[in-house]
Structures are given as structure tokens and as C-alpha cells.
Amino acid sequence: MIERVPEVEVYALGQHICMSAHKARRVIDQIRGRPYDEILMKLELMPYRACYPIFKLVYSAAANATNNMDFDKTALIISQAEVNEGTIVKKLKPRARGRSYPIKRPTCHITIVLQDISKDKNFYLWLKKRGWIYKEKYIDIQDKYECFLYEAIFGGRMLWANDGCEVLWDKK
């Protein structure tokens, strides 16, 4: 079960989507924890059938964030995403000689929770410890994302200075 903090999070829920929960989880696992702009690009370019309903849910959650809570779309990340199994639609397909074959159409329920990182106090403190906030002002989300990438690629061997333009190398 997903627990939400109502001040900094919004959600969108899609129920009875006609696809297997296993196929939807394959896509959800690739977008969990990523920024909103990157998610839209990834979902448009992935070749899976599950991408379109998930794209619509992410877009709907972002619309909820901007219209209902006045969040900025550039500061949104997917904090939580889950896929649960729904009901199974059972049909009978008529076959030759009066027989019938069962057809099972699985459904799933998808929940997307977007978090505004500019209004979350705990995330703010975490960013400040990591050096991404300087003089109580946020660095652009694109710079943060590039720093995430460099940390992942170089394994923490590259440190960014607080002003965002100077690069310092450590002694590893």
C-alpha cells in the first residue's frame, strides 16, 4: 500500500487496464525515481504496449500537480509507482463441434505518485548535505540530473562545486 505525504505529493490511479501486471511492471521498474521530463522521453521511445497507459497516467498526475497543487513540472519526480493485479475477464471462444475454449484477459491497477522536490523539507536537507543547494537557492534540475549521471558513471570520483560551473577532482 502506498502512503502519501499530501503537501508534496500527488497521484494518479488507473484501474482495470487490460494488460498483465507483469508486463506493466517491466516498464514501471525502469521509470521509478526518475524526473518527469526524462520519464516522458523514455515512455515515448520504449517499444512496449504498456507504455501508452503509463504515459497517460504520468501525464495525468503531472496535470493534477500543476492544476490542484500549483507544483512546477520541472521539479517533479516519481517517488512511488506500483502495479497490482486486477480482475480477470473470462470469456468463452466457440470452437468446432460445439466445444469452447476459455479466454482469460488479465487486468491491472497502476498507481503513480509524483513528488515535488522543491517543497519537500527532507529532500531539501538531503540536497543541501550533498552540496546541490548553495545560498538557499536550488540548482536547476537538469544540473542535478547530470550530477546523478556522473555519480553513477564514475562511481563518486567526480565532485561538483556548489556554483555549478567548476569541477573538482578528488584524489582517488
Report pLDDT digits (tens) over 107-122. Answer: 999 999 998 887 766 6
Same domain for 17 and 82? yes
The domain tally of the chain equals 2
Q: Which residues does 92 contact at the CB level (< 8 Å), separation at least 6?
A: 100, 101, 102, 103
**Alpha-carbon distance values, 24 to 15, 55, 165 (Å):** 13, 11, 40
Residue pLDDT, tens place only, 131-162: 555 444 455 666 666 666 666 666 655 444 44
Domain that holds residue 29: 7-118
Same domain, 86 and 136: no
Alpha-carbon distance 161 to 4, whole Å? 33
Grid cell for residue 30: 525502469
Identify the domain boundary among 118, 138, 164: 118
Using DSSP's 3-state secondary structure scheme, residue 134 falls into strand
pTM value is 0.68
67 and 135 part of one domain: no
Residues 113 and 127 in one domain: no
Whether residues 143 and 91 share a domain: the answer is no
What cell was used for 57? 497516467
Same structural domain, 67 and 134: no
Q: Are 142 and 65 contained in the same domain? A: no
